[in-house]
Amino acid sequence: MSSITTTVAEADGRIPLRGHLRHTGALIRRNLLWIRQDPESMFDALLMPIVFTLLFVYVFGGSIGQALGGGQGQYVQYVIPGMIAMMSMTLSQGVGTGFSQDFNSGVMDRFRSLPIGRGSVLFAKIAVELARMLFATAVLMVVAVLVGFHITSWPGLLATVGLSALFATSIMWVFLTLGVVLKNAQSVQAMGFLVLFPLQFGSSIFAPPRSMPGWLRHFTDYNPLSTLADSARGLMNGGPIAHSVWMTVGWSVAITVVMAPVAIHKFRTKS
């Protein structure tokens, strides 16, 4: 098995950039065809933004909106940009579970026996998950407008989506690594829950952190989901954005620089 891995890695190094792009495009089409044959795989991207928007707006909107100095309408303007940030991380988990399922079904063994770029398999997975995230964001914005959200800056909305996609890409490298290292999709899902839950609720996505205890506020200040949510609010509603945007970009670059080589190495050497 080690000799096969070495041979494949050497072949990977001889593939030109055009070949990597062609392989990536073919694998993206393969993954999209799989979604077409299994439309239930899009249910989370369709239903999650609807359920979460209605839940938080109509259950918590009145009380938290009053704390913000307004009412439910004030909370809608607060929570929707934060939920775009939440979607970017929550849906990123799907790339890890899908990767694990492909390993267990033998699909990855077939891919790794072919003379294709190793990175092409990973980049294709990321591209398709980004498409799912953009679909979920579009659904979220439709529901948001229906519950009273006012889009005050279209360029700000587009910038928010771009920044969320950048952050989501970095997080996908983490879940790709988990998809290779852990034995099954259930393990990836469980580990993802342990990572996502404290990051999402220990952030400024759903409520202002000023009422949190001091130790939690310190965590929230450096939580990348908080910086992404604050960036989204500044871009979409107006307000200071420089610090939070640069923090989000910094987190995204740092996570990618650390985790992308790990994911690619683990994929190449998995036996």
Burial class of residue 18 in the structure, from the number of CB atoms within 10 Å of its CB (0-12 exposed, 13-18 middle, 19+ buried): exposed
pLDDT at 232: 95
CA dist 192 and 90 (Å) reads 9
Domain ranges of the chain: 2-269
CA dist 120 and 133 (Å) reads 20
State the pTM of this model: 0.86
Q: Distances from the Cα of 122 to the Cαs of 43, 97, 253, in angstroms?
A: 23, 13, 17
pLDDT in tens, the chain (271 residues): 333 344 344 445 567 767 777 878 888 888 788 788 878 878 888 899 999 999 999 988 888 888 777 788 889 999 999 999 988 888 888 888 888 887 777 777 676 666 666 678 888 889 999 999 999 999 999 999 999 999 888 999 999 999 999 999 999 999 999 988 888 888 888 888 888 888 888 899 998 888 888 888 889 988 999 999 999 999 998 888 889 999 999 999 999 999 999 988 888 787 6
